[in-house]
Amino acid sequence: MNTSETTTPVRLPKLPRNGVDTPTLLATISAVGNQPELAQFKFRAVNRWISGTHSQSRMAPFYGAGAEHTHATDVTYDADHPAVLVAADRGPTPVEFLLHALAACLTAGIANIAAARGVTLTEVESTVEGDIDLQGILGLSDRVRNGFERIRASFKIRGDAPPERLREIIEQSRARSAVYDVITNRVPVELSIEAGG
């Protein structure tokens, strides 16, 4: 039997696409497949209160692929509440960061998946909205949840593939998104407290 007639060779992308280093991405997937322990990561944020509802978070060194790493640049974010919520509006609200995290995670996945599938993207834009009733946060109702009641994400995507294939890329990104998973599935959160005078 001639195996060349029955086996279709797999064609892997050889060049970066969509700004994604596709060969390194595929090599990383292969390496983690061979050594699953490399997939264990721990990300950290250190937050300090400044005044009122204003605080600042710094993305601390993180652990992954068997070692500690630092970001290439110092990454800090301010958060606050807007003036309509009696604050100075020195940064986005924490719930807006959640919307940003969802949009950014889905978009990163879209770029990676498209690159791995050999699709060149020309445009990806999303709008993510969350509906929240502040009666819960303000302690005015025990029947209203504190967080978002619902979140909607809409995408516009263009590239050198048929619309159905582009839709499949977005669906695959949703299926593999860490932030989407965190939002839609209950994640245990442990809180430890060190209090002093």
Q: Are 87 and 97 members of one domain?
A: no
Domain-embedded: residue 111: yes
Q: Are 98 and 87 members of one domain?
A: no
Q: Are 114 and 150 members of one domain?
A: yes
Query: Which residues of the chain register pLDDT less than 50?
Result: 1-12
Q: How much is the pTM?
A: 0.87
Domain-embedded: residue 135: yes
* Structural domain that includes position 118: 93-185
Q: What is the DSSP string of 137-166?
A: TTTS-SSS-SS-SEEEEEEEEEESS-HHHH
Q: Are 101 and 63 members of one domain?
A: no
Q: Are 103 and 76 members of one domain?
A: no
Are the C-beta atoms of 111 and 124 separated by less than 8 Å? yes
- Overall domain count for the chain: 2
CATH number of the domain bearing residue 134: 3.30.300.20
Q: Are 123 and 108 members of one domain?
A: yes
Residue written as token pair 């516009």: 156
Could you report the per-residue pLDDT of 122-148, keeping only the tens digit for each?
999 999 999 999 999 999 999 999 999
Are the C-beta atoms of 70 and 93 separated by less than 8 Å? no
Q: Are 75 and 140 members of one domain?
A: no
* Inter-axis angle of helices 163-176 and 94-116, nearest 10: 120
